């Protein structure tokens, strides 16, 4: 057989690394050739230095940089940092590249992977938690993520809190676990998902009253973070001013409230006011609303009372509770998370009646009527009041404007 000169090939076994690590894992399980023992409390795990150093950055630095542990056969690890079952899983991972994450072990694995500088495992744990955030645990998870510098998870927790703030204030964790500084961080946010600034004030009062003796001293500093200029002056005067314990008994709180009055009553003095950190309306850009289609005419030309709602998250329409009265050419507006249907035409006459839909109880109810019947009128909400403009009364168009105050129902 002749030999072809000056030629060569390179052969690589595609299964070499997988089969090699599998063989080393089998050797370890048989207790052979192990040269290091890791101890957490009474739990001991034997392994090979070369495998740990090649797979886990912490051990790479320990064994290859002349640390004291590099010459020791037994290494003790702090059980407060590394839980024994998490250590066992990460040792197994260094041999087989596989790890199982569940609700019970994800916290221990996240702490251990952070300690051992296993960025990929840390990220997988964070992703696992992000997909399972819930309103009961989000504050605890947020604090945990902050401590471990899990920036992506921390950001997700903040978005979740902003979007679900109104649900959060109903939880035990909000009442019990939130510190004054953490509450201040929430009240500073522009992105809180609230319908009106009054809800932020009510959340503060709820937190203070849960442990009034200890928390009332924190009230003035937290009260400054409520954007009082955005609150209707009637609410300031009728609700906030009459809080005997926190407002009337506290000189600093009264001064803050007085500045809010000045803001409303003396517009030319607003530049001199210093109490309020922000008067920017809050807006949660991560919150998706619902689209309601109300009344209108049917194919026979008659007015109808049916209401449909579109959910952009599910890309679907569904029927909801019908109005009390059939209405077409009706004005609609949303005020304080309530849907208003104002005036319109019922097929026989123009209407002056107004109905409110409360989505949480799925019910329409009547409120104060406008002063005269009209259809095809305009509507808008400004500073927590509802305005209706113009319209047609059956004979002529109107140039009148009316304002509805939800506090007085007039």
- Residue span of the structural domain in which 313 resides: 290-404
Q: Read off the pLDDT of residues 11-59 as tens digits, 9 standing for 90 and up.
A: 776 776 677 677 788 888 888 888 899 999 889 999 999 999 999 999 9
For 343, 358, 408, the CA distances from 333, given in Å and listed in that order, are 12, 13, 18
Q: 336: alpha, beta or left, given left = phi > 0 and alpha = psi -120 to 50? A: left
CB 84 within 8 A of CB 40: yes
| 340 belongs to a structural domain | yes
Per the domain annotation, does 152 fall within a domain? no
**Residue 20 shares a structural domain with residue 126:** yes
pLDDT of res. 16: 63
Cβ burial of 354 (10 Å; 0-12, 13-18, 19+) is buried
Please indicate, yes or no, whether residues 109 and 183 belong to a single structural domain of this protein: no
With respect to residue 394, please indicate whether it lies within any of the assigned structural domains.
yes
399 found inside a domain:
yes
Nearest to 295 by CA among 349, 348, 332: 332
Domain boundary among 272, 307, 337: 272
261 plus 328 within the same structural domain? no
Same domain, 169 and 255: yes
Domain containing residue 229: CATH number: 1.25.40.420
Q: What is the CATH number of the domain that holds 52?
A: 3.30.710.10
CATH number at 385 reads 2.120.10.80
pLDDT for res 7 = 67
Q: Are residues 29 and 114 in the same domain?
A: yes
pTM of the predicted structure, to 2 decimals: 0.71
Judge if 221 and 307 occupy the same domain. Answer: no
**Percentages (nearest 5) of helix, strand, coil residues in the chain:** 40, 15, 40
Please check whether residues 250 and 351 belong to one and the same domain: no
Question: Would residue 146 count as lying in a domain?
Answer: no
Looking at per-residue confidence, does 89 or 13 come out higher? 89
Angstrom distance (rounded) from CA 63 to CA 43: 21
Domain final residue pick, 110, 132, 154: 132
Q: Is the pLDDT of residue 359 over 90?
A: no
Judged against a pLDDT cut of 80, whether residue 4 lies above it is answered with no
Domain boundary among 245, 272, 299: 272
Output the pLDDT for position 384.
86
Residue 183 forms part of a structural domain = yes
Cα distance between residue 3 and residue 229, in whole Å = 93
What is the distance of C-alpha 346 from the center of its chain?
42
Q: Is residue 189 part of a domain?
A: yes
Rounded Cα distance, 175 and 57, in Å: 41
Q: Higher model confidence: residue 408 or residue 278?
A: 408
pLDDT exceeds cutoff 80 at 269: no
Q: Do 301 and 268 sit in the same domain of this protein?
A: no
Q: How far apart are CA 269 and CA 209, in angstroms?
A: 34
46 and 81 inside one domain: yes
Task: For residue 62, tell me if it sits in a domain.
Answer: yes
Most confident of 126-135, 190-199, 275-284: 126-135
Identify whether residues 321 and 385 lie together within a single domain: yes
Measured from the Cβ of residue 32, the count of other Cβ atoms closer than 10 Å reads 11
Average the pLDDT over 299-327 and give the result. 90
Answer for the pair 256, 228: CB distance below 8 angstroms, yes or no. yes
Mean pLDDT of 85-112: 93
Q: Verify that 265 and 303 share a domain, yes or no.
A: no
Task: Provide the number of structural domains found in the chain.
Answer: 3
The mean per-residue pLDDT over the stretch 293-308 comes to 92
Q: Residue 173: is its pLDDT beyond 70?
A: yes
295 and 398, same structural domain? yes
């Amino acid at each position: 057989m002749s030999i072809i000169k000056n030629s060569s090939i390179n052969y690589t076994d595609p299964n070499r690394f997988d089969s090699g690590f599998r063989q080393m894992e089998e050797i370890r399980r048989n207790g052979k050739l192990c040269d290091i023992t890791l101890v957490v409390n009474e739990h001991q795990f034997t392994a090979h230095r070369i495998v740990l150093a090649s797979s886990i950055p912490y051990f790479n630095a320990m064994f290859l940089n002349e640390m004291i542990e590099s010459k020791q056969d037994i290494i003790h690890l702090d059980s407060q940092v590394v839980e024994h079952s998490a250590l066992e899983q990460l040792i197994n991972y260094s041999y087989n590249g596989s790890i199982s994450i569940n609700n019970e072990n994800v916290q221990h694995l996240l702490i251990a992977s952070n300690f051992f500088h296993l960025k990929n495992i840390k990220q997988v744990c964070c992703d696992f938690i992000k997909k399972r955030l819930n309103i009961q645990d989000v504050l605890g998870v947020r604090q945990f993520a902050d401590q471990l510098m899990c920036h992506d998870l921390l950001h997700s927790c903040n978005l979740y809190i902003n979007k679900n703030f109104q649900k959060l204030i109903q939880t035990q964790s909000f009442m019990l676990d939130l510190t004054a500084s953490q509450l201040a961080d929430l009240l500073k946010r522009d992105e809180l998902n609230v319908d009106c600034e009054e809800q932020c004030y009510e959340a503060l009062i709820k937190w203070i009253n849960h442990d009034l003796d200890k928390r009332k001293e924190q009230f003035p500093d937290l009260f400054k973070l409520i954007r009082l200029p955005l609150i209707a002056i009637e609410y300031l005067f009728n609700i906030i001013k009459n809080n005997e314990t926190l407002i009337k008994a506290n000189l600093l709180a009264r001064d803050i409230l007085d500045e809010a009055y000045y803001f409303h009553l003396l517009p030319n003095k607003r530049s001199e006011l210093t109490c309020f950190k922000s008067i920017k309306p809050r807006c949660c850009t991560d919150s998706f609303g619902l689209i309601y289609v109300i009344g209108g005419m049917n194919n026979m030309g008659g007015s109808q009372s049916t209401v449909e709602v579109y959910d952009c998250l599910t890309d679907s329409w569904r029927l909801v509770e019908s109005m009390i009265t059939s209405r077409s050419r009706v004005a609609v507006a949303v005020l304080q998370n309530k849907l208003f249907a104002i005036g319109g035409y019922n097929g026989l006459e123009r209407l002056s009646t107004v109905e409110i839909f409360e989505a949480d109880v799925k019910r329409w109810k009547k409120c104060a009527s406008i002063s005269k019947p009209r259809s095809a009128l305009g509507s808008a909400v400004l500073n927590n009041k509802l305005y209706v403009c113009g319209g047609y009364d059956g004979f002529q168009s109107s140039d009148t404007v009316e304002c509805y105050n939800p506090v007085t129902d007039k």
